Structure 1
Amino acid sequence: MGRLTTHVLDTARGQPGAGIRVDVYALDGERRLLKTVLTNHDGRCDQPLLEGAELGVGHYELVFHVGAYFAANGVEAPSPRFVDEVALRFGVAEPAQHYHVPLLVSPYSYSTYRGS
């Protein structure tokens, strides 16, 4: 059974990104919000973002609300923040596989990759 998972690492502080809101969208002709979750103390979500029949062939978007996370943790930044909401768009070609989309983030940069 396929699934979509994520985790967030705060590279500026060298720790998991705990309490970050993540919005999950399907991009199938229109942008549809599927769910909103929060990362746990380990920067991960307690359940897969999507799994089984929820995950189909198509395009998806994850929006990580990292500006609010940095503000809540006392990280000073100019207004507006350089990195506020990180939107990652990606395609799912094989929905029976595991798609892991991690985010490494700081107040001034971010990166991602397809993990395992």
Structure 2
Amino acid sequence: MSTSTTASVSTHILDTSIGRPAEGVAVHLFARGGREEDWQALGGSATDADGRCKDLPDLPEGTTHVRLDFAVEAYFEENTAKKQADAQQDAPATRDSGAVFFPEVAITFAVNPGEHYHVPLLLNPFGYSVYRGS
């Protein structure tokens, strides 16, 4: 049983369009001490070659809500050519206008003191899903 008075957060991103971790995605962490409080920017990091963000800042004591902001537009823009080269032969060569449909993904969730929250992001150019991992 944890005796910590603060929650902790970790995340990783899997690019499901290529079945690989998403490297180099900027992730920003925000916290607040109640739903009526203002968000406090705590800092951020970027995903490593494994798609993991291992050095997110600690949450302040009294945190009740957390928001992870993922800046995915730059990731998709930088990796479009590589993905097209690695794509299966039967995949369409172009999609829509080439613009990123979701330029940012913001995930907000409630936390309890002393618990760890691992929040994976499953990402592709036209959709995403998240869940509480372990």
Task: Answer whether contact 1:4 1:55 (CA < 8 A) is retained.
Answer: no
Distance 1:54 1:13 in 2: 36
Could you say what secondary structure the match of 1:7 adopts?
strand
1:3 touches 1:55 (CA, 8 Å); kept in 2?
A: no
Q: What SS is found at the alignment partner of 1:19?
A: coil
Deviations 1:2-56 (A, max 9, x none): 4210000000011001000001111341122111100000000233x244x6364
Among 62, 74, 82, the alignment partner of 2:101 is: 82
Aligned residues: 113
Q: Looking at CA atoms only, which structure, 1 or 2, has the larger radius of gyration?
A: 2
Q: Which residue pairs with 2:72 in the alignment?
A: 66
Shift of 1:74: 1.9
What corresponds to 1:40 in structure 2? 48
Distance 1:12 1:55 in 2: 38
Q: Secondary structure at the match of 2:49?
A: coil
Report the TM-score, using the length of structure 1 for normalisation: 0.85
Q: Structure 2: 5+ residue runs without aligned partners?
A: 82-93
Look up the SS of the partner of 2:75 in the other structure: helix
Q: Is the 8 A contact 2:72 2:102 kept in 1?
A: yes
- 5 Å-filtered alignment, 1:1-116, equals 1=4, 2-28=7-33, 29-47=37-55, 49-51=56-58, 54=60, 56-74=62-80, 78=97, 80-93=99-112, 95-116=113-134
**Superposed CA offset, 1:42-73 (max 9, x none):** 000233x244x636441111010111101011
SS in 2 for 1:25: strand
Q: CA deviation at 1:82?
A: 1.1
State the one-letter code of the partner of 2:31.
A
Structure with greater strand share of residues: 1
- Which residue of the partner structure matches residue 88 of structure 2? none
